[in-house]
């Protein structure tokens, strides 16, 4: 009996389709100007020519993903905003320490490559890079039919930024009576979706298009406004409000000898979070420890600086204060 010849394509990996997808990416990138990158997509590595105006540069790196928000996109069959989410999750982390984003790479893992979906995602990634002023310099598309189940995929992003050695913001200058300023979010961003997906299943909401589209709103990219604020004001600390909500992310930013006091009456909880809280019967403390609840990014500054920043935009609002150690790191009023 003659054995059948095996090949990669019959195993579920279409190398030619992967090459075609790389060509798709190159075509989309051809209309964008590379600010810092050298060469083209598709090589073994990407190179960056860093800006020359840094006296003592250090390079910051960040990695993040979109999590189970992917399931919402799959329900709606809308994928372009996921690319913006992916870039946002990484570059918003970079700027917390004061770094300016330079370069971005992505990992796209799939059970079977669908170029139409892939092109939507890449379009979003390119848009996110343009919004944050960095270059897409490379990535990896992995077709793994024996690992990802049918229709499943994953997205991971990697960002690189630059900062002056003496410009790193590490929270060490945060002091008692500093004010915590919240920057308005654009919905859930990319966190808390494991809980949200459970709520969708429990309440049979898979066909509630309006609700799903609200959930899919892309993560806000704070790069330009935060870098602008940094150029004008002394900011003692910052936090990107991601997984773990206000409690975990502010606690990471504030020294151990100080406490964070949040007054939930300072801002209005957006309707989308109110709906999630009601549908899931979730306690307020749990909401604040899972979701951003309308606050996507935080600045910690002295009182005088807070007044000047708050006067700049109605999307900035005070949410709390830093206090001396109150035997508890995070308190809600």
DSSP, res 208:
-
Q: Are residues 97 and 189 both part of a single domain?
A: no
Query: Is 90 exceeded by the pLDDT of residue 47?
Result: no
Q: Are residues 80 and 197 in the same domain?
A: no
**Residue 225 CB coordination number (10 Å):** 17
Q: At residue 329, does pLDDT exceed 80?
A: yes
Report pLDDT for 1. Answer: 55
Each residue's pLDDT tens digit, 108-142: 988 888 888 888 999 999 999 999 999 999 888 88
Domain-embedded: residue 174? no
Q: What is the CATH number of the domain that holds 290?
A: 3.90.650.10
Mean pLDDT of the residues in the chain: 90
Does the pLDDT value for residue 42 go beyond 80?
no
Q: What pLDDT does residue 207 have?
A: 94
Domain check: are 154 and 283 in the same one? no
Q: Is the dihedral of CA 90, 91, 97, 100 positive or negative?
A: positive
CATH (domain of 102):
3.30.1330.10
Are 159 and 204 in a shared domain? no
Please state the rounded mean pLDDT for residues 182-211.
96
Same domain, 187 and 42: no
Please report the pLDDT score of residue 15 as a whole number: 61
Structural domain for 148, as ranges:
9-167
Mean pLDDT value across residues 148-159: 88
Question: How sure is the predictor about 174, in pLDDT bands with cuts at 50, 70 and 90?
Answer: very high
pLDDT, average across residues 182-203: 96
Please report which confidence band the pLDDT of residue 56 belongs to, taking 50, 70 and 90 as the band edges. Answer: very high
| Higher pLDDT pick, 15 / 135 | 135
Three-state secondary-structure class, residue 187: coil
Which pair of tokens denotes residue 21? 């997808």
CA pair distance 65, 221, nearest whole angstrom: 15
Both 78 and 183 in one domain: the answer is no
- Which tens digit of pLDDT belongs to each residue from 267-286? 999 999 999 999 999 999 89
Which residues, 6+ apart, have CB-to-CB distance to 213 below 8 Å? 76, 78
For residue 4, being part of any structural domain is answered with no
99 within some domain: yes
Is residue 160 domain-shared with residue 265, that is, in the same domain? no
pLDDT in the model for residue 33:
54
Tell me: do 200 and 67 sit in the same domain.
no
| Cβ-Cβ contacts under 8 Å for 1 (sequence gap 6 or more) | none
Q: Tell me whether residue 149 is exposed, middle or buried, using C-beta atoms within 10 angstroms of its C-beta: 0 to 12, 13 to 18, 19 or more.
A: exposed
- Report CA-CA distances (Å) from 27 to 126, 187, 268: 12, 32, 44
Q: In terms of domains, do 200 and 308 share one?
A: yes
pLDDT value of residue 177: 97
Element (DSSP H or E) covering residue 186: none
Whether residues 99 and 241 fall in one domain: no
Give how many domains the chain has, as a whole number.
2
pLDDT in tens, 75-104: 999 999 999 999 999 999 999 999 999 999
Sequence-distant (6+) residues with CB within 8 A of 57 are: 50, 162, 163, 164, 165
The reply to whether 26 and 159 lie within a common domain is yes
Cβ-contact 131, 92 below 8 angstroms: no
57 inside domain: yes
Q: Of 171, 143, 134, which is closest to residue 256 (Cα–Cα)?
A: 171
Instruction: Name the band, by pLDDT with cuts 50, 70 and 90, for residue 24.
Output: low
Residue that is last in its domain, among 167, 191, 218? 167
The pLDDT value given to residue 14: 56
How far apart, in whole angstroms, are the C-alpha atoms of residue 60 and residue 159? Answer: 8
Please state the pTM of the whole predicted model.
0.91
pLDDT value at residue 200: 97
Domain annotation covers residue 284: yes
Residue 32, pLDDT > 60, answer no
| Distinct helix (H) and strand (E) counts, the chain | 11, 12
Q: How far apart are CA 161 and CA 51, in angstroms?
A: 11
Whether residue 233 sits in one domain with residue 158: no
The residue among 117, 138, 167 that closes a domain is: 167
Residue 173 belongs to a domain: no
Residue 44 or residue 109, greater confidence: 109
Residue 2 belongs to some domain of the structure: no
Final residue of a structural domain among 135, 167, 199? 167
Tell me the C-alpha distance between 159 and 242, whole Å. 16
Residue 47 lies in a domain: yes
Q: Rounded CA gap, 245 and 290, in Å?
A: 5
């Amino acid at each position: 009996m003659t054995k059948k010849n095996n090949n990669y394509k019959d195993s579920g990996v279409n190398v030619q389709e992967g090459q075609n997808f790389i060509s798709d990416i190159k075509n989309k990138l051809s209309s964008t100007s590379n600010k810092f990158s050298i060469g083209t997509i598709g090589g073994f590595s990407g190179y960056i020519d860093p800006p020359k105006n840094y006296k003592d540069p250090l390079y910051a790196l960040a990695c993040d993903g979109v999590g189970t928000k992917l399931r919402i996109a799959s329900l709606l069959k809308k994928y372009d905003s996921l690319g913006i989410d992916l870039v946002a999750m990484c570059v918003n982390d970079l700027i917390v320490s004061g770094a300016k984003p330079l370069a971005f790479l992505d990992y796209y893992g799939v059970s079977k490559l669908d170029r139409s979906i892939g092109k939507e995602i890449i379009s979003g990634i390119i848009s996110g890079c343009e919004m944050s002023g960095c270059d897409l310099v490379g990535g990896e598309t992995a077709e793994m039919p024996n690992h990802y189940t049918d229709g499943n995929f994953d997205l991971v992003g990697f960002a690189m930024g630059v900062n002056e050695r003496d410009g790193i913001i590490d929270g060490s200058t945060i002091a008692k009576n500093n004010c915590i300023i919240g920057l308005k979010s654009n919905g859930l961003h990319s966190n808390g979706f494991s809980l949200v997906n459970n709520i969708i299943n429990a309440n049979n909401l898979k066909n509630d298009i309006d609700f799903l589209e609200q959930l899919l709103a892309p993560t806000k990219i704070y790069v330009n406004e935060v870098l602008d604020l940094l150029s004008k004001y002394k900011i003692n600390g910052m936090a990107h409000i991601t997984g773990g909500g206000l409690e975990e992310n502010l606690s990471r930013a504030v020294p151990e000898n100080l406490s964070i006091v949040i007054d939930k009456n300072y801002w209005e909880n957006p309707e989308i979070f109110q709906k999630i809280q009601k549908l899931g019967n979730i306690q307020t403390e749990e909401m604040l420890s899972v979701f951003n609840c309308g606050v996507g990014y935080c600045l910690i500054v002295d009182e005088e600086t807070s007044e000047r920043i708050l006067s700049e935009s109605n999307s900035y609002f005070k949410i709390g204060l830093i206090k001396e150690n109150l035997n508890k790191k995070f308190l809600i009023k």
